[in-house]
């Protein structure tokens, strides 16, 4: 399983640029696309079998190890920081170390999950992958971060929501094992966006109203007209730039994108379930990692979600989770049903 934060359509758009001020970015995007294509086969490999139900394992402390690829594409690279050691002085390595810890803490404190796999999986990450590499990804075993091209993208460890997003692919891998294609793939991407923002919100103790609901905030340089890669609150509004184009995410099934690109539009159509989660959080209020987060986490990890789940199947799973957790006719249950109705997904 190989899931990256930058959608292929953004890389393709950037690779076509011929303006001198974006020459490094264009070269970096071309190289990133080559790398993505070279690992497409990894996405076709079967995910680990999903557990038959949620395991109750007492969370332990994180076990983090950070490596430095030194501009190569060889993993894991040189060891630069282990669990409990002082900061290395390398911003990328230390941001990765901190981000892994913040993500581990959300799952442990809020959901009682023992690391990514529920059984204390060590958290490994490699920084400085490739030369000006425009991406970050979960490869099924560890996190990998590029440095960005410096013209369009900054280093990828800068955004905690990116770190939380990519590690959530591991949670999905070890629980529902959602396929990375079509609507199941869009749910896979959306789950990562959900837990990516929750990691950030939990760390900063931000309420639903205080949070930005942006994925990848801080990744763009000042040359880009945009705030982030995606907006869960308002899909389709994260950026509108001469180089990158306009954010293509739909916010309801009325604008669902049917495409064979990007594994059936997994990064585009994820805007629909993203918007549904935000609407639930907005309706319930307070903190999104509480009731909304618990409902989504339960739906993902309960063991009943098929690998090829559609939006409707997932919507029904969240509604059932809301009933199990809060009762039929509860405010939480009503919020879930209304959210899916708003984005035109049938339960």
Q: Is 34 among the domain residues?
A: yes
Confidence of residue 42 (pLDDT cuts 50, 70, 90): very low
Task: Give the mean model confidence (pLDDT) for residues 2-28.
Answer: 87
Quote the DSSP letter at residue 329.
Answer: T
The verdict on residue 80 lying in a domain is: yes
* Average confidence (pLDDT) over 66-80: 97
Q: Does the pLDDT value for residue 2 go beyond 80?
A: no
Domain-embedded: residue 17: yes
79 closest CA partner among 89, 87, 69? 69
In terms of domains, do 122 and 192 share one? Answer: no
The question of whether 166 is a catalytic residue gets the answer yes
Question: What element of type H or E holds 98?
Answer: helix 91-111
Mean pLDDT of the region 21-48:
71
Are the beta carbons of 5 and 229 closer than 8 angstroms?
Answer: yes
pTM: 0.94
Lowest mean pLDDT among 46-50, 84-88, 259-263: 46-50
179 within domain boundaries: no
Please give the residue range of the domain that contains residue 134. Answer: 3-174
Told to judge if 151 belongs to the known catalytic residues of this protein, a careful annotator would answer no
In a domain, 347, yes or no: no
Nearest Cα to Cα of residue 215 among 238, 245, 240, 247: 238
pLDDT in tens, 252-279: 999 999 999 999 999 999 999 999 999 9
Same domain for 196 and 75: no
Are 134 and 6 in contact by the 8 Å Cβ rule? The answer is yes
pLDDT for 44 equals 43
CATH number at residue 197: 1.10.390.10
Name the catalytic one among 2, 35, 128, 267: 267
38 has pLDDT over 70: no
**Mean pLDDT, range 317-331, rounded to an integer:** 97
Please state the rounded mean pLDDT for residues 137-145. 93
CATH number for the domain that contains residue 170: 3.10.170.10
Q: Are residues 159 and 308 in the same domain?
A: no
Asked if 212 contacts 189 with a C-beta cutoff of 8 angstroms, the reply is no
255 domain-assigned: yes
**pLDDT > 70: percent of the chain:** 93
pLDDT at position 31, please? Answer: 87
- The helix (H) or strand (E) run that includes residue 172 is helix 160-174
> Which of these three, 174, 200, 215, is where a domain ends?
174
Q: What pLDDT sits at residue 33?
A: 85
Is 295 inside a domain boundary? yes
| From 151, 154, 166, 217, the catalytic residue | 166
- Is residue 45 within a helix (H) or strand (E), and if so which, with residue range? none
- DSSP calls for 40-59: HHHHHSPPPPPPSS------
- CA 291 to chain CA mean position, Å: 20
* Beta-sheet pairing, 214-215 with 230-231: antiparallel
Give the pLDDT of residue 55: 53
The yes-or-no verdict on residue 50 having pLDDT over 70 is no
Q: Work out how many domains the chain is built from and give that number.
A: 2
């Amino acid at each position: 399983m190989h899931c990256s934060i930058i959608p292929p359509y953004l890389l393709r758009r950037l690779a076509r640029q011929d303006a001198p001020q974006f020459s490094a970015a264009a070269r970096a995007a071309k190289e990133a696309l080559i790398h993505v294509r070279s690992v497409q086969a990894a996405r076709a490999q079967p995910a680990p079998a999903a557990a038959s139900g949620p395991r109750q394992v007492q969370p332990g402390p994180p076990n983090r190890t950070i490596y430095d690829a030194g501009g190569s594409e060889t993993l894991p690279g040189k060891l630069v920081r282990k669990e409990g050691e002082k900061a290395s002085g390398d911003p990328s390595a230390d941001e990765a170390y901190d981000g892994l810890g913040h993500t581990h803490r959300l799952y442990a404190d809020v959901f009682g999950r023992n690391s990514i796999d529920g059984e204390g999986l060590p958290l490994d990450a490699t920084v400085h992958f490739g030369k000006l590499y425009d991406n970050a990804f979960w490869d099924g075993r560890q996190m990998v971060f590029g440095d960005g091209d410096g013209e369009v993208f900054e280093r990828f460890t800068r955004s905690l929501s990116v770190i939380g997003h990519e590690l959530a692919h591991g949670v999905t891998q070890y629980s529902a094992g959602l396929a990375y294609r079509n609507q199941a793939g869009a749910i896979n991407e959306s789950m990562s966006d959900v837990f990516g923002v929750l990691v950030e919100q939990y760390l900063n103790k931000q309420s639903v109203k205080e949070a930005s609901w942006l994925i990848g905030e801080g990744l763009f340089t000042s040359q880009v007209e945009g705030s982030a890669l995606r907006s869960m609150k308002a899909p389709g509004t994260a950026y509108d730039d001469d180089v990158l184009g306009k954010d293509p995410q739909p916010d309801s099934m009325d604008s669902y994108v049917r495409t064979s690109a990007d594994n059936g539009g997994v990064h585009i159509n994820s805007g629909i379930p993203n918007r549904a989660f935000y609407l639930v959080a907005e309706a319930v209020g307070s903190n999104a990692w509480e009731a909304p987060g618990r409902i989504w986490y339960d739906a993902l990890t309960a063991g009943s979600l098929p690998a090829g789940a559609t939006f409707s199947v997932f919507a029904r799973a969240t509604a059932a989770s809301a009933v199990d957790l809060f009762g039929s006719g509860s405010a939480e249950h009503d919020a879930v049903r209304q959210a899916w109705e708003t984005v035109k997904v049938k339960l």
